[in-house]
Structure formats: structure tokens, C-alpha cells
Amino acid sequence: NAGVTQTPKFRVLKTGQSMTLLCAQDMNHEYMYWYRQDPGMGLRLIHYSVGEGTTAKGEVPDGYNVSRLKKQNFLLGLESAAPSQTSVYFCASSYEEGQGEAFFGQGTRLTVV
Amino acid sequence: DAKTTQPNSMESNEEEPVHLPCNHSTISGTDYIHWYRQLPSQGPEYVIHGLTSNVNNRMASLAIAEDRKSSTLILHRATLRDAAVYYCILRDFLNRDDKIIFGKGTRLHILP
């Protein structure tokens, strides 16, 4: 049971480049989330999804887009990367609202130069 | 979204119990209290959650005040591996729009 898998684990981008981060979960969870964590800070919610085909904005959505075409996958896109998007990105999934334990991936370390 | 307040940091000696407090004075009747922790260079991991009654599991205990406006995560015998940032989070089980919002958490230092 792999749980939550994030791809890639590390990436360096040049300013203006685009990329997509993939989050995959094999637990049939309805809810999926993308967070960013800057050094010494807590996690901030970027976007989330309450089910296949749905997405919603979190606390810091600007500069990012997401898609949830399949229940098991949640993609985070950066159309034109900026140095301010240098961060560690975490994905999470949860089975149900309120009670469900959330499982987190190991993170993607992104550097934009 | 109901908010939580935690101390920025705490210290404890190894092999002693640790009590991590969390205030949530605006908690609603349908909010579960969740605790997660984040070890260095790792993603957060679930610790425990509860609604009204105290809860125990292999990792910790959760003590919930009778008025539910505060709770305490109890690590019964801290080890060096318990050094982490601990987050207290409220999640509404009747809200389909379930955002999991993290605060700044409490950084727990364990002294050998």
C-alpha cells in the first residue's frame, strides 16, 4: 500500500518555466489537498478537492492551477514559475470530512531560479 | 473556519510526560479536534483525533475539556524522536467543504 505518492521529489525551474506536480493516492479517498511550506513556517493550503472533477481555492491559490480528472490523482500546475514559488509542496488525502485521518506525501522540493 | 491557538514552542526532558495545549474557544458542536505532527524534513503525520470524550491510542492521549474550548495532547513518555512541530486542527464533520487548515503549531524540543 503506497499511500500518497508525490512526483517529482526535487525540481529546479527557471523563472517563467511551467511544470506539473503529481499527487497519487491508492486509498480511494474523496478529499485531496495541496499545500506549500516555506522555511520555518506552517503549511498553507493552495487548492483542494472534495471529489473527482471538483477543485476549490485554498488560502494561497494565486499562481497555481489544479485538476482532479481521476479520483486517485490531483495535479498542481505552475504556468509561469516565479522565485516566490520556491517552497516545499505537500499533497494530502482524506477519506471523509471531519473524521477522516489525512495522509501526507513526502513532499516536493521546488526551487525557482 | 474555527481557529486554534497553540504556544510557539515547548521543551521537555526525555522520558518524561509532555502536555501540549490547544485553545479553540470558537469550536462548533460538529468540529472534531485533530492533532498532527511534522518531524524534520517529513510530511505531517496523523497523531489522534476526538470529538467530546478523551481518546487514547498507541502514540498519545487526547484530553478534551468539558466545554470543548481547549484540549491537551499528552505524550506519556517523550523520546528524542518526538521532537517535532505539533499542529492542533479543527475539522467539521458536517461540512462537505472540508479544508484542512494548519496554524503555526508548537515546536516541541526534547532534552536528552
Distance from CA of A15 to the nearest CA of B (A): 25
Q: Which residues of A touch B45 (CB under 8 A)?
A: 104
Do the bridges between strand B84-92 and strand B70-75 make them parallel or antiparallel, or are there none, so unpaired? unpaired
Beta-carbon count within 10 A of A96 CB:
14
| Percentage of residues in chain B having pLDDT higher than 70 | 98
Distance from CA of A50 to the nearest CA of B (A): 7
Geometric angle at alpha carbon A100, from A31 and A54, rounded to 5°: 15
The predicted pLDDT at position A96 comes to 77
**Helix/strand/coil (H, E, C) string of B48-77?**
EEECCCCEECCCCEEEECCCCCEEEEEECC
Measured CA to CA, the distance from residue B105 to residue B83 in angstroms comes to 13
Closest among B112, B38, B34, B42 to B73, alpha carbons compared: B34
Low-confidence ranges of chain A (pLDDT < 50): none
Please say whether the beta carbons of A112 and A85 come within 8 A: yes
Q: Which of B31, B43, B103 sits opposite A106 (nearest CB)?
A: B43
pLDDT in tens, B51-98: 999 999 999 999 999 999 999 999 999 999 999 999 999 998 888 888
Whether the CB of A25 is below 8 Å from some CB of chain B: the reply is: no
Distance from CA of A110 to the nearest CA of B (A): 14
B23 class by beta-carbon count within 10 Å (0-12 exposed, 13-18 middle, 19+ buried)? middle
